[in-house]
Structure 1
């Protein structure tokens, strides 16, 4: 049985590890609000999404300003972790890795207000942005339809929805992020990342239509 309490505890354990290992520069308190597990934003008055389009520099800046993240990593990248639980089952998730649009100095990220660091780069290096794409894993069975798999990965474009075998457990999500985007850190902390990387958060969701096109599958 899945509960908000058990999911929240798993997220807290992850964030505590990332902070203690100095992989994360900042983490936010885990929020349990009804059926949702997410984060406590430092400025909840700022809108999370202005549009449904592709993430922009201003989206990243607003998320950093509002504290709209679970963790801010040592390089300024954001982890946004949200799970929905209903009736003892996972009802949805939004798991996003948002790279920082600039290459930030690690010491500045750790010791200066993150918004000041970002604005410094925007002002002095406006054309030196890093063209890394955000990546997001969504589970939204209520919206499942042809072209919109229940579990999917979005990368590079809001219209990109690559079917996934199942909803992602937090351990599998973080293992994926660090395995592919921070391989040296992943190797250095391999026992931690491997511990829960083999778990799924729910049953397999691939349809026959999903199987006919390129999709993400794991055993």
Structure 2
């Protein structure tokens, strides 16, 4: 049976590995509150979302300032991991990979507060941004509707919702991120990433209409 405790332990194990392998520069404490597993924000008074639009530089900066992340990777990218658990199973999740808007000095990322490093780039080279898109995997069966699959991936635009076969286990999510965006690291740590990459977080959720259109499927 899936519980908040088992999910939280899996997230802790992931973050501990990323930190010990020096893939993550910082990690946040895993939070268990009621049915939700997430992170402990360092400044919860700062709103997490101010709009439902596409992520902006200011969104990244606000998340860095408030500590609204599970991990800061070595290059300044953020991982945001949130699961809701109800009735012994995953009820919802929000799994996001937010690339850093600038190419950061990796030594600075480890030595200085991430917000200070970002503000340095904003001040010195504001237009020299990296046009990488955030990627988010959402699972919200309560909001499922035509054009809004229960499990979906959002990329490039808030209106882009590509149906996924099922909710994602944390291992499958991190395997996807590192396999596609950090292939050298993925190969170097292959035993770790592949160990839980074959697991699902719940049953298949594709509808017949979603099967007729391009979607993300795995066996």
- TM-score over 0.5 for the pair: yes
Is residue 38 of structure 2 the alignment partner of residue 21 of structure 1? no
Q: Could you report, residue by residue, the CA deviation over 1:167-211 in whole angstroms, capped at 9, with x for unpaired residues?
A: 000000000000000000000000000000000000000000100
2:150 maps to 150
Q: CA RMSD in A?
A: 0.3
- Matching residue of 1:178: 178
- Provide structure 2 residue ranges, at least 5 long, that are not aligned to the other structure: none
For 1:154-169, what aligned pairs fall within 5 Å after superposition? 154-169=154-169
The separation in 2 between residues aligned to 1:38 and 1:113, in whole angstroms, is 21
1:203 is aligned to 203
* CA displacement 1:12-56 (0-9 Å, x = unmatched): 000000000000000000000000000000111100000000000
| TM-score normalised per structure 2 | 1.00
The aligned residue for residue 91 of structure 1 is: 91
2:80 matched to which residue of 1? 80
- Aligned residue pairs total 219
Who is 1:137 aligned against? 137
Instruction: Note the C-alpha offset of 1:114.
Output: 1.0
Q: Does 1:64 align with 2:43?
A: no
Cα distance between partner residues in 2 of 1:208 and 1:31: 37
Q: In the TM superposition, what is the alpha-carbon distance from 1:89 to its structure 2 partner? A: 1.3
Corresponding residue number in structure 1 for 2:48: 48
CA distance in 2 between partners of 1:137 and 1:186 (Å) = 19
Using the alignment, how far apart are the partners of 1:125 and 1:135 within structure 2? 25
Q: Deviations over 1:116-174 (max 9, x none)?
A: 10000001111100000000000000000000000000000000000000000000000
3-state SS of paired residue (1:22): coil
Deviation >2 Å, runs of 4+: none
Partner Cα separation in structure 1 for residue 213 and residue 99 of structure 2: 28
Partners of 1:196 and 1:111 in 2: CA distance: 32
- Counterparts of 2:152 and 2:31 in 1: how far apart (Å)? 24
Distance 2:114 2:59 in 1: 14
Partners of 1:42 and 1:59 lie apart in 2 by 16
